[in-house]
Amino acid sequence: MTAFASPPAFLAALAALPQPDEAARTAAIARQDSLTKPRGSLGRLEDIAIFMAGWQGHARPRLDRVSGIIFAGNHGVVARGVSAFSAAVTAQMVANFERGGGAANALCAAAGIDLAIVPIDLDRPTADFTLAPAMSEEECLAALNIGAAAVPKGIDLLILGEMGIGNSTVAAALCAASFDGAAADWVGPGTGVDASGIARKGEAVDAGLALHRGSLTTPFEILRRLGGRELAAIAGALVAARLRGVPVMLDGFICCSAVAPLAAICPDIVAHCLAGHRSTEPGHTRLLDALGLDPLLSLGMRLGEGSGAATATMLVRAALTAHDGMATFAEAGVSEA
């Protein structure tokens, strides 16, 4: 199990990130070039197969075991009227996931993903970040380690998702602290708030940035002062997956925002990541550009919960099936160009 003993230990992990297996990647490229098709004719499907080969360390990568995790947490900033729903809905949705009734459940089943739900202290929301740090050092470190511990061994791909009423406001704050820009550049409708709700979200982000200005000096401090337990857990899971060489499929704006504080000082942190989709939440396109990620899908989705990532996993399955199952020119007796 990957564990981070202290905030400095977590930051040190970012300086020792493993890289993909170049031999496997080169072999996958050679296989793509030998298959019965013009080179490059399967577009992104070829790129996906080569990406997966590098991170799995096999020229013919597979998706025999895919794990999806939804981390859930509650947020004190909800008291500022930033969501169309009350904080009680987080626990209600967790119960729905546990009964198998969520969109994420259905989409993960369709994609062949084993889904786990990890609620983190739902009865103990983080502090309102406009008044105090969202978490203590101990709470943030615990959330990072919960995320790291949740990553199963021996998986071929990790799907990350979240649930937490108010966390689109938290996501906007993390992005603004990590990549600058005004609050208005990052806030959006989230759960469906109107223009006045979006304004309240912007005011909360501005207040949080003003309160913590001068203290947002490391990824850990950004996460603990402005983040949430479920987002810190996503960050911990993502780093743990990288240390094990496991590729990761990210979901939408909120999931990607958990990576923002890390990527601001270590852009390579997303080298093992695919962006599942482009959310309609306005800040997501800006965030994807900052992370240097080109999403696989753009379907007008904005649900979260790992739903976009689960849907994109079906595309990965298609890519790997073509990569593994097609005949080569030599096998098919077809003349190469």
Return the SS3 of 108.
helix
pLDDT tens sequence across 243-286: 999 999 999 999 999 999 999 999 999 999 999 999 999 999 99
Tell me the average pLDDT across 8-24.
95
First to last CA, the chain: 49
Say if strands 157-163 and 248-250 run parallel, antiparallel, or are unpaired: parallel
Tell me the average pLDDT across 193-219.
96
What is the value of pTM for the model shown?
0.97
Cα separation values, 211 from 128, 192, 298, Å: 11, 27, 36
Active-site entry in 162, 230, 281, 305: 305
**Tokens found for residue 332:** 């098919």
**CATH architecture of the domain covering 63-319:** 3-Layer(aba) Sandwich (3.40)
Would residue 305 show up in a list of annotated catalytic residues for this protein? Answer: yes
- 165 backbone dihedrals φ, ψ, rounded to 5°: -55, 130
**191: confidence class by pLDDT, cuts 50, 70, 90:** confident
pLDDT of residue 336: 85
DSSP 216: -
Tell me the average pLDDT across 209-235.
97
Rounded to the nearest integer, the mean pLDDT of the chain is: 97
pLDDT of residue 3: 87
- 117 backbone dihedrals φ, ψ, rounded to 5°: -115, 125
pLDDT tens sequence across 26-68: 999 999 999 999 999 999 999 999 999 999 999 999 999 999 9
Tell me the average pLDDT across 153-164.
98
pLDDT of residue 1: 54
DSSP letter for each residue of 255-286: HHHTTHHHHHH-GGGGTTEEE-B--SSTHHHH
pLDDT at 337 over 80: no
**Tokens found for residue 329:** 């020119």
Tell me the average pLDDT across 57-83.
97
3-state helix, strand, coil in the chain (%, to 5): 50, 10, 40
Contact (Cβ atoms closer than 8 angstroms) between residue 284 and residue 293:
no
Q: How many CB atoms lie under 10 A from the CB of residue 166?
A: 30
- Its sign, for the CA torsion 105, 302, 188, 217, is positive
**Tokens found for residue 222:** 């950004």
pLDDT at 200 over 60: yes
pLDDT at 181 over 90: no
**Tokens found for residue 71:** 């981390």
pLDDT at 296 over 90: yes
Tell me the average pLDDT across 63-74.
98
Q: What does the alpha-carbon distance between residue 319 and residue 315 come to, in Å, rounded to a whole number?
A: 6
CA dihedral 134, 136, 141, 142 (to 10 degrees): -90
Q: What does the alpha-carbon distance between residue 88 and residue 139 come to, in Å, rounded to a whole number?
A: 21
For the chain, the domains span 63-319
Q: What does the alpha-carbon distance between residue 42 and residue 147 come to, in Å, rounded to a whole number?
A: 35
pLDDT tens sequence across 89-135: 999 999 999 999 999 999 999 999 999 999 999 999 999 999 999 99
- Its sign, for the CA torsion 140, 143, 147, 149, is positive
Strands (E), 24-168: 66-72, 113-119, 157-163
Cα separation values, 96 from 72, 117, 158, Å: 12, 10, 22
Residues 6+ apart with CB under 8 A from 324: 60, 62
